[in-house]
Structure 1
Amino acid sequence: MSNRLKVLIVDDDAVSRTVLKTMIHWENAGFYIMEDAHNGNHAVQLIEKETPDIVITDINMPGLNGIGLIEHLEKNFPQISIIALSAYDDFDYVRQSMKNGAMDYVLKHRLDAPFLLNILNTARSSIHSYRNERDRQSDIDKELTTSKAVLRQTFIRKLLEGGLSDVEEVTGRVRALDMKLDTENLMVTIAEIDDFRLLEEKFSSQEVDVVLHTFMEISKEILKDWEKSVIVHMAKGKFAMIFSLGPLKSTMYIYNTMYTILNRMRSEIKKHLNITVCFGVSKVCTELTKLPQAYNYAETLLRDKFYKGKNSIFIESTPHKKEESFFCLDIKDEKAIYAALKNQDDKEVKSRLDDIFGKISSMRLGSKSTQMICAELINIVNKICKDTGIEITKLYTAEDIPYNLIQKYETLMDIKAWVVNLYDKLISMLKLMKLESGLSNITKKAVEYIHRNYSSDFSLKDVADFAGASSSYISRLFKEECGIGFAEYLNHVRVEQAKQCIENGELKLKEIVSSVGFNNYNYFFKVFREVTGMTPLEYEQSCRK
């Protein structure tokens, strides 16, 4: 029925309505009668509930007559095709009905089935032509809207990147593109999605596009609170916003207002997309052609993210020291770290790393210099592994080469956390090697059994049977040689394995519990905190920072 055209019959004479309804087989002809009305007022009520495609109306009716109904429809429902009927061959009626929008005027006594079908088919052609033209115009309007939006985005990018300098040209383009921007008192803000490179690795290109589109839509909705502003996607994970400030107020007022709207944007993006974003806000720009300088200033502020962390708003600049062109570890530092690792001196290693990263921060070294220092720290780890026979693959759980991995982190805190975690794992392995080197054959067998079967549920008796000794003897010997009890050692091994699983991020916490041999989540939670000083969730969050 959806392809059939809807017809409304309007006539004050019930017999005439019945004759018209039975004159042809409406549905076979591609039409159906949706309703019939007894006068013009009744017809208006029905049309307001459901719009017909065709109205066949009598001219002479009490109340609102056919001429009045045709006028109403032409004014309010121009898409409806109208056929006027009358029992009188009155030229004035013909003239008025045709003038007001009727497509045909038919005398009732001349109306028969073929004549009616012919008129209806003519109406159908007219309706289809109207719809085709309407759809074509709609497509044109959409295309023009889309084209203008693309032109706006291209223009803003070119303007911010310094590709336009003529004031008259820039002002003319702003007007031509119907952009809501003033020509003076402007401010540029750059929004940068945190860890965008990691986001691209985690999701497909289509999923990333959805994130970017949603980011843009959320931002546009919030920017409606600012009377005049525009936003454009500049590059991977980076957006630029231009705000017209209007009559200038105090700097404090402008920054407070800007902070409020950006903080709301940051909050909504975190809530809906579960990602964080940093903002760099320029100083007030006096004219359109100076926007590139304002954009560069906002970009400079964003560099503070490397030192101050993610999910931040950077508004006021602080004096920056010039970045060193070259920096490397002192040979004394390298020897001291190497010696501390060999001695499994956790405190000394941590102190040395704190000093190195503190120096990077105080000197405000850039990411390139920092990566160079980290590469030297990785080299120390690799040398220790080579000298002690530790397999390097046991240290690096990610698929990436470690030198490439550190380039993906955007903040000094993230880079330091990765390096410190690497050194922690190395020290744990070195301690285990030292422990095993001084063990008796029986205890070595016990340790071997634990490392092979930590993911299973076994008892001290199972270990004793494997080692060829009694449970009581194994328990006493194990504590004497290892310095800790059998159960405590087993828990440490399981927690270390759990830490590696958490770092990999492939399993959920509840899955990790059983995969490393714990039968009870609460007990796992308790043991994990005793061994590491933090809960599994806190450790997971520290790995994701």
Structure 2
Amino acid sequence: MLKVLIVDDHAVSRTDLKTMLDWENCGFYISGEAYNGIHAIQLMEEDVPDIVITDINMPGMNGLGLIKQLESEYPQVRIVVLSAYDDFDYVRQSMKRGAMDYVLKHKLNASVLLDILKAAESSILAYRNERDKQNEMYHELMISKDRSRQELISKLLEGSLSGREEILNEINALDITMDSENLIVTAVEIDDFWLIEERFSIKEVDVFIQTFLDISKEILIDWEKSVVIHTSRGKFAMIFSLGHNHSRMYIHNQLYTFLNRIRSEIKKYLNITASFGVSKVCNEIKLLHQAYSEAVSILKDKFHKGKNGIFIDSTTSKHEEGFFCLDIKDEKAIYAALKNQDFETVKILIDAVFNKISSMRLSSKSTQIICAELINIVNKTSKDAGIEMSMLYTAGDIPYNLMQKYEVLLDIKAWILNLYLKLIEILNRMKYRDSLSSITHKAMEYIQNNYKYDVSLQDVAEFAGVSSSYISRVFKEECQMGITEYLNHVRVEHAKQYMEYGELKLKEIVNHVGFNNYNYFFKVFKEMTGMTPLEYEQTCRK
């Protein structure tokens, strides 16, 4: 409904207007009453009406003064003038100042008033439609211009534009706030962006990227001239104009302050981290692509230094100083320690491998080749022991592909060690099971195959072919835990596995592993692991 403000110094006249129509049934409602123009303006500062019905002769600010101010400050408001005077000069002045209609009070009735209001309504709707069209055109123009800006910046970073005059002309035409010299490029990437892509829909990921851009742009407003664009899959480029020459230390301190603010805000609002690689100063805009390549190269330091970093100077001019494969002697030592379930020795040997990778500054690709050899040792040991691969890897995961998703050396090492530890735990369980009776073996087999469903003591007993009381006693004697406790243990282990690979949301995992109640799952998980499911999930993301 359209809002109507009545302005008249006579209370009786205002009452006559209020009672003349069934306002709400006609599609309008009275939002306020004012006794002169000044009072009307005060009310409109709190709530702007769509239509103002005003008297002409009032103390203080009269109707003509009100119309003049409304035309200046509220051009969208439609004005209807009422007067007790049949005065052509008033009619002429009020219509000239912006009133859409003029009615004498003694000629006003419900029918005339409704016709005037409907005419005002049509005028308002026409105004709004035109305004919406203009806003839409402006929005489309801004989107098109922004797209053109991004395309130009992308071409500059690719090096596909070389003519200085051409570049400057396009920058000026698109109103890009960037100088032609003394520039620094920063390459940015969201850490573990693959996890975001796996957990969210394409539309949600787009919103995520836009939010990152919005946060960055908001902070970079304080830098006199800067540009930020999204280049690809969670990767961004920022260009900073330095203006007058400053010392290298001053520039880096200023830049670090701004980038650190971005790090802080994205952690606060998006709960993510990002890494930044910063180029040296570029003295010529047509060479911007070289600075960008340098920034991307410096960002590769993340692999060895870790996530959530600002890398201004590369620690080495090359990211790969050499290459090595696992020595036959090392392979045999790792294999032997693994078969003997000696995790301490396994850890020492794998630490040595990763220390060598770090000292030689090997690239991620070279590291993956070495890790593939470490995975092969796990697979060979599993095969020799008759262990199904599904016990080590979640369904659908290829270990070599999974390993390639990790962005830093520490994460790859943690994943490899976790894989070895998991295999040793399985080997230990197998060794332990060799001493168990066939009845307990059958109980464990049934639970392993059916943990996703409702499992009762009677179900396990029937599968083993004995009574419930007998299997309960035997199982507890041999395993030092009851069947329900063992079932919960199996479910929690599978839940941990799903959390590690990040395939499902926590609530989905709860149902997927056979728990029907989240609170019960929460309680059991904390009792068995010493931490809550959310805390454990966080450790998997570090």
Does residue 496 of structure 2 align to residue 502 of structure 1?
Answer: yes
SS in 1 for 2:175: coil
Out of 226, 237, 244, which is 2:223 matched to?
A: 226
Give secondary structure in 1 for the equivalent of 2:346: helix
Matched letter for residue 184 of structure 2:
M
Q: What do residues 388-422 of structure 1 show as CA deviations (whole Å, max 9, x unaligned)?
A: 33333322246402122111111111112222222
Quote the Cα distance in structure 1 between the aligned partners of 2:70 and 2:41.
8
Task: Report the alpha carbon displacement of residue 234 of structure 1 after superposing the two structures with TM.
Answer: 0.8
Q: Is the 8 A contact 2:84 2:104 kept in 1?
A: yes
* Partner SS state of residue 233, structure 1: strand
Mapped pair 1:392 → 2:392: no
Q: 2:84 aligned with 1:77, yes or no?
A: no
| Residue number in structure 1 paired with 2:325 | 328
Q: CA deviation at 1:372?
A: 1.5
3-state secondary structure, aligned to 1:259: helix
Query: What's the CA shift for 1:116?
Result: 5.7
- Once residues 258 and 503 of structure 1 are traced to their aligned partners in structure 2, the CA distance between those partners, rounded to angstroms, is 41
How far apart, in 2, do the equivalents of 1:47 and 1:180 lie? 39
Instruction: Report if the CA contact (8 A) 2:525-2:532 is conserved.
Output: no
TM-score by length of 2: 0.78
Q: Match for 1:140: what amino acid?
A: M
Alignment of 1:377-416 (within 5 A): 377-397=374-394, 399-416=396-413
Instruction: Quote the residue 1:212 is aligned against.
Output: 209
The residue aligned with 1:288 is: 285
Instruction: Give me the whole-angstrom Cα distance separating, in 2, the residues matched to 1:210 and 1:74.
Output: 40
Match of 1:212, SS state, is helix
How many pairs does the alignment contain? Answer: 515
- Report the CA distance between 1:218 and its aligned residue: 2.1
Which residue of 3, 6, 9 maps to 2:4? 6
The CA distance in 2 between the partners of 1:190 and 1:256, in whole Å, is: 17
- Name 2:373's counterpart in structure 1: 376
State how 1:133-532 maps to structure 2 within 5 Å: 133-321=130-318, 323=320, 327-397=324-394, 399-433=396-430, 448=441, 501-505=495-499
Secondary structure (helix, strand or coil) at the match of 2:230 reads strand
Rounded to whole Å, the distance in 1 between the matches of 2:521 and 2:44 is 69
- The gaps in structure 1 that reach 5 residues or longer are 479-484
Q: Residues 221-247 of structure 1: CA distance to partner in whole angstroms, max 9, x if unpaired?
A: 222332322211110011111112222
Say which SS state the counterpart of residue 332 (structure 1) adopts: helix
C-alpha displacement of 1:196: 1.3
- Distance, in Å, in 2 between the alignment partners of 1:111 and 1:521 is 73
Distance change (3 Å), C-alpha of 1:244 and 1:445:
same
Alignment-mate amino acid for residue 172 of structure 2: R
**Matching residue's letter, 1:184:** E
User: Which stretch of the first structure deviates more once superposed, 210-219 or 250-259?
Assistant: 210-219
Amino acid at match of 2:338: L
TM-score with structure 1 length normalisation? 0.78
Q: CA offsets, 1:109-165, max 9 Å, x none?
A: 776776666555544443333332222222222222222222222222222222222
Query: Is 1:23–1:113's contact at 8 Å kept on the other side of the alignment?
Result: yes
Q: Is the contact between residue 319 and residue 363 of structure 2 (CA under 8 Å) also seen in structure 1?
A: no
SS at match of 2:189: strand
Contact 2:187–2:277 under 8 Å retained in 1: yes
What percent identity do the matched residue pairs reach?
A: 58
AA at the equivalent of 1:353: I
Report SS of the residue matched to 2:277: strand
Partner Cα distance (2:28, 2:471) in 1: 89
Q: Is the 8 A contact 2:56 2:62 kept in 1?
A: yes
8 Å contact kept, 1:189–1:282: yes
CA–CA distance in structure 2, aligned partners of residues 322 and 115 of structure 1: 84
The alpha carbon displacement at 1:6 in A equals 2.1
Distance 1:381 1:543 in 2: 21
Q: Distance in 2 between matches of 1:56 and 1:299?
A: 65
Give the deviation of 1:332 after TM superposition: 3.0
- Partners in 1 of 2:288 and 2:529 — Cα distance? 53
Could you tell me how far apart the structure 2 residues matched to 1:113 and 1:466 are?
A: 90
Alpha-carbon RMSD: 4.4
Larger Rg: 1
Q: How far did residue 298 of structure 1 move?
A: 1.0
Contact 2:301 2:315 in 1 (8 A): no
Sort the Cα spacing of 1:115 and 1:164 in 2 relative to 1 into closer, same or farther, 3 A.
Answer: same
Which whole-Å CA distance do the structure 1 matches of 2:262 and 2:336 have between them? Answer: 49
Q: Secondary structure at the match of 2:209?
A: helix
SS at match of 2:68: helix
Q: CA separation of 1:67/1:536 partners in 2, compared to 1, >3 Å: closer, same or farther? A: closer
Assess if the C-alpha contact under 8 Å between 2:53 and 2:81 holds in 1: yes
Q: Structure 1 CA distance, aligned partners of 2:226 and 2:82?
A: 57
Structure 2 residue runs without a partner (length 5+):
458-466
Determine if contact 1:491/1:527 at 8 Å carries over to the other structure.
Answer: no
Give 1:61 deviation, angstroms: 4.6
Task: Write the letter of the residue equivalent to 1:198.
Answer: L
3-state DSSP class of the match of 1:300?
A: helix
Q: 1:31 to 1:528 in 2, by over 3 A?
A: closer
- Check whether the contact 2:301–2:314 (CA below 8 A) recurs between aligned residues: no
Deviation at 1:71, TM superposition (A): 2.4
* Structure-1 separation of matches of 2:413 and 2:468: 40
- Matched residue of 1:192: which SS? strand
For the residue of structure 2 that corresponds to 1:254, the secondary structure is helix
Alpha-carbon separation, structure 1, partners of 2:121 and 2:14: 21
Q: Distance in 2 between matches of 1:544 and 1:67?
A: 68
Decide whether the 8 Å contact of 1:9 with 1:33 is kept in 2: no
Deviates most, 280-289 or 491-500: 491-500
Partners of 2:149 and 2:172 lie apart in 1 by 11
